[in-house]
Amino acid sequence: MEQTAVSPTEQVREVVQAVVESLREPKTEEDSPLVATNSFEAQALRTEILRVGRKLWERQYVDGNGGNISVRLGSKYVLCTPTLMSKGDLEPADICLSDLEGNILAGDRLRTSELLLHLEIYKANPKARAVLHCHPPYATAFAMTSTAPPNGLIPEYEIFIGPAAVAPYETPGTQAFAETVLPYVEDHNTILLANHGIVCWSDTVTHAEWLAEILDNYCKTYLIALQIGKPLTFMPEQKIKELLAVKRRMGLPDARLPKDAGQVAVEDTAEMARLVEQVVARLEGREQESCPSL
């Protein structure tokens, strides 16, 4: 079994999550886009996209037809917003079903041209289940300078985002633009797109939107703090390490976390095998009592 930089219990949790995800995917009709797009899960995800699209518009994170949202549906499909529509006016029927190559399989509208960006992120990082692109004013102002805000000022920013990456400018909607984020998508869930906006990925559309809020609010507050005219007080390095420990337990990416941190020791591997066996037994109905609390 592949070893990761997390504790045995966390690895078991990941296994259980993977099992749950597989159960949610279309099964016998997995090859049918029609079944996938009409599934209860697809309907729930469309509702979430519409709700988050409305939040983006109300927060003034998207202008005109700007911004786009997508979410993975099972292992083969992606639901995404259409092109040339305000994110504040979306209806369920406007949401497109695409494969991982960007081919539209269901829906009457043309997909967003930025789906290429979303697909590159999904292909590069399996943890990305939802991607959101928008133009929040304060974060985009930083993107105009190809600069990320400094770290070490607000705990929430350190935990949920950390050092934001800055991807170089490319013409929007092109494959070259989509590939500008590739060097960053493993260690960063939030990327500033130079002279353009931002893109965030997470496990859900709702959480991806949270990242946009956290980044833009952080940029805004930082710029206000500069106007006070007093030196900024940065959190001590030891306190940052404590936040990184929290972040690691939450399974969030951060370029400051060492790649080999928490490699599972031999005795931990045995413990993990025992825990996995207990979980599998429970899933198979062989054991009712002694499964570890997850």
Where along the sequence are the contacts to Zn ion (CB under 5 A)? Answer: 197
DSSP 64-101: TT--EEEEEETTTEEEEPBSS--TTS--GGG-EEEETT
236-254 burial, b at 16+ Cβ within 10 Å, e below that, comes to: eeeebeebbeebbeeebbb
- Contacting residues for 38 by C-beta, under 8 A, at least 6 apart: none
**Residue 216 Cβ vs Zn ion, minimum distance, rounded to whole Å:** 14
Nearer Cβ to Zn ion, position 193 or 264?
A: 193
State in Å, rounded, how far the first CA of the chain is from the last one.
20
DSSP 134-156: E--HHHHHHHHTT-PPPSSS-HH
Nearer Cβ to Zn ion, position 33 or 197?
A: 197
- Per DSSP, the three-state class of 202 is strand
Nearer Cβ to Zn ion, position 53 or 197?
A: 197
Nearer Cβ to Zn ion, position 98 or 140?
A: 140
Catalytic residues: 114
> Looking at beta carbons, which residue is closest to Zn ion?
197
Identify the sign of the CA torsion 113, 114, 115, 119.
positive
**Residue 170 Cβ vs Zn ion, minimum distance, rounded to whole Å:** 12
Nearer Cβ to Zn ion, position 136 or 149?
A: 136
**Residue 172 Cβ vs Zn ion, minimum distance, rounded to whole Å:** 6
**Residue 69 Cβ vs Zn ion, minimum distance, rounded to whole Å:** 12
For residue 165, give the H/E element and its range: strand 165-167
- Please state the length of the chain: 294
Greatest CA separation for the chain: 66
**Residue 180 Cβ vs Zn ion, minimum distance, rounded to whole Å:** 13
